[in-house]
């Protein structure tokens, strides 16, 4: 896909050239090239009827707060924004350890980071964000830590319920939820039910999830259908499996971009099937340090990629 050559407004700065997986450990440097856009932080729940790509950060007067021009940071193009971004939020514990803080502080800082990224996604027109909150493999961590994480999930969901409603955010939780504490399960089901008609943005939280688990559970459902005679085993194809994957709760089940923080170069059993054509971006910084600058860097890199899908 050729990038749009008809782009009339030249960016004031050239985006950083993307260095694919440079193995020389490069130190996290802040993207200080951006002038701070003189735009009012627009309320997230405003109806964004049309978007104007406005490089000079013009702001429109808030006319009763109904329609506000959304602006993207310099360099980002609206037409090639990923619709669905997935994140592996790695590095919370290392972050805490490097500051001589307890592990709990690391996770709490991670939650704050997540809130920032959700806000940015809403602002920049990304429709869905999937986060790998808790892997099937994480059940093997020390019991104390697992309980801490469960209580953090519960607290996070309770505290942010108001925000989800205000910002028109739909929450979906995917994973093997039967392993979670009962109270948390109920909270999740309730939250999913009450936010299911929200349309502005979808946050998909993967808890007790793994890519292999997702494919296996899809297959089990198909096997059951075959057993009851609804389908023949020979009917099973790619689309039937995709319908049964847990990501079918989203309009965009396949992420366009996967970001993994923390410097590791692996998928760690996150959404395997759905990542078939996803662009992968490995960030060196730890998750609590992953803010607007780093996210922008990842999106700019994504927009420079040429996606051929085998052609």
The residues that touch other proteins, with contacts defined as CB under 8 A, are 19-21, 23, 140-142, 210-212, 215-216, 219-220, 222-224, 226-227, 233-234, 236-238, 241, 264-269, 272-273, 275-282, 305-307, 309-311
Contact yes or no for 97/141 (Cβ under 8 A)? no
- Per the document, the length of the chain is 311
By beta-carbon proximity to other proteins, the closer residue of 89 and 171 is 89
By beta-carbon proximity to other proteins, the closer residue of 90 and 160 is 90
Tell me how far, at minimum, the Cβ of 217 lies from other proteins, in Å: 9
Cα distance between residue 290 and residue 97, in whole Å:
17
Tell me how far, at minimum, the Cβ of 192 lies from other proteins, in Å: 23
Catalytic, 90? Answer yes
Cα distance between residue 121 and residue 136, in whole Å:
26
Tell me how far, at minimum, the Cβ of 288 lies from other proteins, in Å: 18
Candidate list 63, 90, 137, 214, residue with the active-site label: 90
By beta-carbon proximity to other proteins, the closer residue of 167 and 256 is 256
Residue 169, phi then psi, degrees to nearest 5: -105, 130
By beta-carbon proximity to other proteins, the closer residue of 241 and 293 is 241
By beta-carbon proximity to other proteins, the closer residue of 30 and 220 is 220
Tell me how far, at minimum, the Cβ of 218 lies from other proteins, in Å: 8
Tell me how far, at minimum, the Cβ of 280 lies from other proteins, in Å: 4
Cα distance between residue 292 and residue 44, in whole Å:
16
Residues taking part in catalysis: 90
């Amino acid at each position: 896909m050729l990038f749009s050559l008809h782009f009339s407004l030249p960016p004031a700065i050239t985006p950083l050239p993307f260095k694919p997986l440079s193995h020389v450990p490069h130190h996290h440097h802040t993207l200080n090239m951006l002038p701070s856009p003189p735009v009012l932080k627009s309320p997230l729940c405003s109806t964004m009827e049309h978007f104007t790509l406005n490089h000079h950060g013009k702001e429109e007067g808030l006319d009763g707060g109904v329609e506000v021009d959304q602006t993207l940071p310099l360099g980002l193009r609206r037409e090639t924004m990923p619709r669905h971004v997935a994140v592996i939020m790695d590095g919370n514990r290392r972050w805490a350890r490097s500051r001589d803080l307890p592990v709990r502080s690391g996770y709490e800082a991670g939650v704050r980071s997540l809130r920032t990224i959700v806000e940015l996604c809403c602002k920049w027109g990304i429709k869905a964000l999937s986060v790998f909150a808790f892997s099937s493999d994480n059940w093997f961590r020390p019991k104390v830590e697992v309980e801490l994480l469960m209580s953090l999930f519960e607290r996070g969901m309770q505290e942010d319920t108001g925000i989800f409603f205000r910002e028109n955010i739909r929450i979906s939780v995917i994973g093997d939820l039967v392993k979670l504490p009962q109270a948390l399960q109920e909270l999740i089901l309730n939250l999913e039910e009450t936010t299911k008609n929200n349309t502005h943005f979808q946050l998909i939280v993967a808890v007790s999830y793994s890519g292999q688990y997702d494919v296996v559970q899809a297959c089990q459902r198909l096997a059951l259908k075959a057993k009851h005679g609804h389908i023949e085993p020979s009917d099973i194809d790619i689309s039937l499996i995709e319908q049964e994957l847990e990501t079918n709760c989203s309009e965009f089940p396949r992420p366009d971009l996967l970001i993994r923080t923390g410097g590791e170069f692996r998928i760690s059993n996150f959404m395997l099937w759905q990542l078939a054509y996803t662009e992968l971006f490995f960030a060196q910084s730890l998750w609590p340090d992953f803010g607007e600058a780093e996210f922008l860097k990842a999106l700019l890199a994504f927009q420079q990629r040429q996606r051929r899908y085998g052609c």
